Amino acid sequence: MRRLLALLLVAVLGLTACGGDPLSGGGSESDPNVIAMGSGNFTESQLVAEIYSQALQGAGVQVEEPVAIGSREAYFPALQDGSVDLIPDYSGALLQYLDESAQQRRSAEVYAALQKVLPPELVAGAMSPAQDKDAVMVTRETADRLRLRSLDDLTPHCKDIVFGGSPEFQTRPDGIPALRENYDCAFKSYRSLDAGGVLTVTALVDGDVQAADLFTTDPAVAQNGLVVLEDPKENFAAQNIVPVMVKRKATPQVTGVLDRVSAKLTTEELLAVNTEAAGPDKPALRTVAADWLARNGLAGNAP
């Protein structure tokens, strides 16, 4: 309970890597026989964490219920100090978080580089084929009016465009600074919204922003007819989902379960569970995760 309260405090306070860390030293209280799950504070991350959690429980591993902590700037320090033991993350974004100078862009290269820069107390499980990449998106009307297919096409219009995205995207290595460097794109202004969520989608659809950072597996992309601008200069690296965990909890049993989940988790499957979670009935994420595990023969996954 103390750990849960501390993690909720992180989410409320928006802990950053450069700020004070109220979780420091929390790992000493961690039960060596229990996996404490964490996630980002958006649906897809919470869904994958729930899939990990149920798969591990089905194999007889004790797991604390997943806690949605916040952005990477909040949950990664919690992982490092042992307040949580396991988090689903994205290979390219995590690599650039740990090494802002990283130049790798393709899946295998990104994963190999990530393994080299992870702190020694952490380990990455097998990456899944599933990718959810950041992408700059516009409405169909904007794409047609400005004849936009790629980020190169956007460059002449950047000075007239209000861009929307998460607060972190404004300073992340592959965010606004990289778009300026790679595409000579300096936007008229930046509106700080959420991480690929309803605020950003609504602002884009309503015309409050004319371009935005959204995620490629978001059902809202197809539902709203949004256009993903091509990225010929590979501003956005590969973003394969990968479990990251504290090394002392990465037993053969735990890593075996996670590897089996990763092998089944494709981009199409990721989009499917996101679409199911966003459906009109709004099923519980726990239910969506259980259904996915059953469909993929991973329910009750005891070795």
Looking at residue 162, its amino acid is: V
Instruction: Give the span between the Cα atoms of 125 and 259, in whole angstroms.
Output: 7
Instruction: Give the span between the Cα atoms of 141 and 229, in whole angstroms.
Output: 13
Q: How much is the pLDDT for 301?
A: 52
Give ranges for CATH 3.40.190.120 in the chain: 134-228
Strand ranges for the chain from DSSP E: 34-40, 62-70, 86-90, 122-124, 134-138, 162-165, 189-192, 211-215, 227-228, 241-246
Taking the model in full, what pTM does it have?
0.78
Q: Shortest CA distance to 135 belongs to which of 127, 143, 145, 146?
A: 143
Looking at residue 184, its amino acid is: D
Longest CA–CA separation in the chain, Å: 58
Residue bearing tokens 């990225």: 231
Strand ranges for 166-271 from DSSP E: 189-192, 211-215, 227-228, 241-246
Residue bearing tokens 């994958």: 48
Residue 97 CA to its chain's centroid (Å): 12
Looking at residue 190, its amino acid is: Y
Give ranges for CATH 3.40.190.10 in the chain: 2-131+238-295
CATH of 134-228, one of 3.40.190.120, 3.20.20.70, 3.90.420.10, 3.40.630.30: 3.40.190.120
**What secondary structure letter does DSSP report for 158?**
G
Residues of the chain with pLDDT under 50: 1-29, 302-303
Strand pairing category for 162-165 and 211-215: parallel
Residue 36: C-alpha distances to residues 26, 65, 119, 242, 289 (Å): 12, 7, 19, 17, 18
CATH homologous superfamily of 2-131+238-295 equals Periplasmic binding protein-like II (3.40.190.10)
